[in-house]
Amino acid sequence: MYQFKRSIDLKKHLELVRKSGKTIGFVPTMGALHNGHLSLIQAAKQNTDVVVCSIFVNPTQFNDPKDYEKYPITIEADIKKLNDVSTDIVFLPAVDDMYPEGLDGNIHYDFGDLETILEGKFRPGHFQGVGRIVHKLLDIVQPSKLFMGQKDLQQCLIVRKLLKIIHSSTELIVCPTEREPDGLAMSSRNVRLSPAARKKATAIYQELNAIKNSFGKGLLFMESAYEAVDHLKAQGFDPEYADILALKDDTLVPLDQPATDDMVVVAAIAAWLDGVRLIDNIIIQGKL
């Protein structure tokens, strides 16, 4: 596996890859890799010739400085995992390399309402930071396909919008969420849960399934989201949202009426447990 620390060197290398007619698959990450990330690498390997994985804890997408400071860093283990699944290239840039202009850039992407609902409501500025770094990484890697996980559904939709805004020819492939045996969505933040909280954490997925199971039961279906909040509170979670949404024109809108058959319907939950913020979602009907 090749390791690049400087974007200029990676760019040069990838120019040769492209010239040789090979396609490039790209998996951007912030490290602390788990099987969810590795499933993205596998998908990239199946669909493209050369797979690049970036590891960069992006400071501009953390609205909470404490979250940035506490973000788990496990570079040695990450490199081993990437090697074990035969990743071709790992890119490990420094902050100065990615942000030569400084962190307070004046670029702004118009993501519309998608930026201010769900995660955006609780993490102001987060998606501008994601857009900024993904744009930079895409400029460097210029992949034919970009692989991201459905666990961060809103992020996937933001990136889909970004690709349109910047007229990119890169195709976004959204891969299914990888789960622990008890249903908890794999996440780099899970390692910060105490053993007791880790046991409880599966309740989020259970509530998402309860919402899904009430689908088709008219208004009860909408109420199931309020119930999910109550159930999570009763178990010691501090929920930020439990919402049922429909995908419309590449954005998510609250579903405030019974769904029709042609709608893509999703449920999404964010909740704090043991000082750790957990998010998850489930597709109730349709395909992304």
Binding site for ligand PAF (CB under 6 A): 28-30, 58, 61, 130, 133-134, 152, 155
Calpha distance 65→222 (Å, rounded): 35
Q: What is the rounded distance in angstroms from the CA atom of residue 113 to the CA atom of residue 72?
A: 31
What is the closest distance, in whole angstroms, from the C-beta atom of residue 37 to ligand PAF in the complex? 8
Residue 188 or 214: the one with the smaller Cβ distance to ligand PAF is 188
Q: CB of 221 within 8 A of CB of 215?
A: yes
Q: Which is nearer to ligand PAF, 134 or 284 (CB)?
A: 134
Q: Which is nearer to ligand PAF, 133 or 247 (CB)?
A: 133
Q: Least distance to ligand PAF from the beta carbon of 152, Å?
A: 5
Enter the tokens of residue 164.
């349109």
Minimum Å distance from CB 195 to ligand PAF?
A: 25
185 contact partners, CB below 8 Å, separation of at least 6: 36, 151, 177, 178, 179, 204, 205, 278, 279, 280
> Is 126 designated active site?
no
Q: How many CB atoms lie within 10 A of CB 283?
A: 18
Choosing from 13, 34, 37, 135, the catalytic residue is 37
Least Cβ distance, residue 159 to ligand PAF (angstroms): 7
Between 81 and 212, name the residue whose CB sits nearer to ligand PAF.
81
Helix (H), strand (E) at residue 238? strand 238-248
Residue with tokens 């890169």: 170
Spatial distance between the Cα atoms of 168 and 138, rounded to a whole number of angstroms? 9
Q: Report, as residue numbers or ranges, the catalytic residues.
A: 37
